[in-house]
A and B are shown apart, each in its own frame.
Chain A
Amino acid sequence: MPTVSSPCISLVDVSFSYGTVPILEHITLTIQSGEFIGIIGPNGGGKSTLIKCILGLLTPDSGSIEIFGEKLLTQSTQKKIGYVPQRSESQNGSFPFTVREIVDMGLAVKSSLFSFHHHDEKAIHKALEDTGMETHIEEKMSDLSGGQKQRVLIARALVGNPSILILDEPTVGVDQKSKHDFYTLLKSLNTTKKITILLVSHDTDAITEEVSTLACINKALTYHEPTKSLNKKLMMESTYGKYTKKLVHDH
């Protein structure tokens, strides 16, 4: 297990709403360097909103977020975070991109705005080697399986050498075998490279077995404990309580 030391992400009393609809309510959560934390919760519970706030894509209505002790997300702190998004329609999957081109995008932030790109072939190979995708470097993204595509996106996040890796529902649409390999890869990155990993998922069973700390969000932070002292009943009731009752009732 990696050594857990200083806090790298601190949220204090963070609230966020879309218009008048509250999404996050008074979230206080500290993520330590070297942690492998899983964030779970029901659909619409605010998991993705929470990481968008951490990434600076959304601004909380109140409360504060610190990344490595810095309150404002600057380009230097952003460089310390690697982000793997949920596979979404925003990415034009039909366009021909090689694996090399996708990973190379992760180096774009290394140079200033109007400066010609410094292509770092060595860093690209290293990131692909770390994710087990080096032999696919010349292949087209559209020819890869769902699990392989996610590994390439992790390589893109890793190529900038981040300290924190944030993943939003990375295993959606990925088969069971690839999911298992995927979690093994994340554990390896966490233990060997000492990367702090924040994994958002709705896959409760899988995530409770893979991560070292579990946080549950359903607007508020309903549960936050190391998985070795996991009280699954308490966690499920505090997070999914009403929802579970409703399902039982409906069926």
Chain B
Amino acid sequence: MMEIFSYPFMQTAFIAGGAIALVAPLIGSFLVLKRYALIADTLSHVALAGIAVALITKTEPLYVTILLCIGVSLLIEFLRQKRGLQGDAVLAMFLPGGLAVSVVLLSLARNPGAGITSYLFGSVTTVSLNDALFIVALAIFSIITIASVYDKLLFAAYDEETAKASGIQTTFLNTLLMVLTALAVSISFRLVGALLVGALMVIPVVSSELLAASFKQTIAYAMMFGIASMFLGLILSFSVNIPAGSTVVLVSLLFFLLSFLLSSKKHVILGNK
């Protein structure tokens, strides 16, 4: 069992995975609160297009994906806020759009590389130590940024109109949240997989929402569920030799089931809603 920690690639996976498992549910808590959870899936499909561009141009996928995801997240916010388009409709437009661009680009490329599957579904071996350190740095940056605007971001996510009327800079905060989401998606796709990263931002939050008594508790439980899903998923993935991202998502779904059963039991005992 302990031999898993002796492999350098697994050590790297645990470092990167730990950082992702903390930051993804943290950002996801605000997205779920805003009923904007689909943004994570939308940006993960945009990330696929970034990966396709990087594979064709032989550039670093992480950096290309970060730039593309931030660009698209700003475009989505522009269309939603300035042009008054419905948020869910804009997301539903970019989600298949990202997938379509990536499929077209990959089909045009003669040899896009054999590793495309690992980008789609995640792989522990594709994360280098430098990648892991970059992921940790971005995760720390995201956590400190959210902590410094926490109260304003919370107000804007819970009741945007009143927050705006009170003098909170809601447009800036919405844009900031989109950029942080884009960063989180970009740093996660290698380990968890572009198609599965959205789940890591949403499932731990929904699981914790069922048990928590406050928003702060929701964030704390979501981060704990995130870490537990990530580490258990990585261990299982290594032990049974199955893809890391899918295993992490399945473990997080098991935690959701557990939370659901626990919350149902609590409601039956207390007679709550």
A-B residue pair count with CB separations less than 8 angstroms: 96
A88 closest partner in B (C-beta): B161
Q: Are A108 and B168 in contact (CB under 8 A)?
A: yes
Which residues of A have CB within 8 Å of B154? 101, 105, 108
- A3 at the B interface (CB under 8 A): no
Pairs A-B, 3 closest by C-beta atoms: A78-B167, A117-B151, A108-B151
Q: Are B152 and A108 in contact (CB under 8 A)?
A: yes
B97 to chain A, nearest CB (A): 27
- A203 at the B interface (CB under 8 A): no
Q: Are A108 and B169 in contact (CB under 8 A)?
A: no
Q: Are A75 and B217 in contact (CB under 8 A)?
A: no
Contact residues of B between 104 and 148, Cβ < 8 Å to A: 147-148
Which stretch of B15-23, B52-60, B206-214, B229-237 is in the interface? B206-214
A117 to chain B, nearest CB (A): 4
- B262 at the A interface (CB under 8 A): no
> A96-123, CB under 8 A of B: which get 1 and which 0?
1110111011111101011111000000
A117 closest partner in B (C-beta): B151
Residues A117 and B215 in contact in the complex (CB < 8 Å), given A56-B165, A57-B164, A95-B209:
no
Task: Report A's interface with B, CB cutoff 8 A.
Answer: 55-57, 75, 78-79, 81, 83-85, 88, 90-92, 94-98, 100-102, 104-109, 111, 113-117, 140, 142-143, 160
A48 to chain B, nearest CB (A): 11
Q: Are B214 and A98 in contact (CB under 8 A)?
A: yes
Q: How far is the CA of A117 from the CA of B147 in the complex (A)?
A: 9
B215: contacting residue among A90, A95, A107, A108, CB under 8 A? A95
Contact residues of B between 150 and 183, Cβ < 8 Å to A: 150-152, 154-155, 158-169, 172
Given contacts A55-B165, A85-B159, A88-B161, 13 further A-B contacts (CB under 8 A): A75-B167, A83-B166, A85-B162, A90-B159, A95-B33, A95-B158, A101-B214, A105-B155, A105-B159, A115-B148, A116-B148, A142-B273, A143-B273
Q: How far is the CA of A101 from the CA of B212 in the complex (A)?
A: 13
Residues A113 and B161 in contact in the complex (CB < 8 Å), given A108-B154, A108-B155:
no
Residues A143 and B169 in contact in the complex (CB < 8 Å), given A107-B151, A108-B154:
no
Q: How far is the CA of A57 from the CA of B212 in the complex (A)?
A: 33
B171 to chain A, nearest CB (A): 12
Which residues of B have CB within 8 Å of A56? 164-165
Q: Are A104 and B151 in contact (CB under 8 A)?
A: yes
- B149 at the A interface (CB under 8 A): yes
Residues A97 and B158 in contact in the complex (CB < 8 Å), given A108-B163, A140-B213, A143-B272:
yes
B214: contacting residue among A78, A90, A97, CB under 8 A? A97
Which residues of B have CB within 8 Å of A113? 149, 152, 169, 172
A96: contacting residue among B147, B159, B213, CB under 8 A? B213
> B4-37, CB under 8 A of A: which get 1 and which 0?
0000000000000000000000000000111100
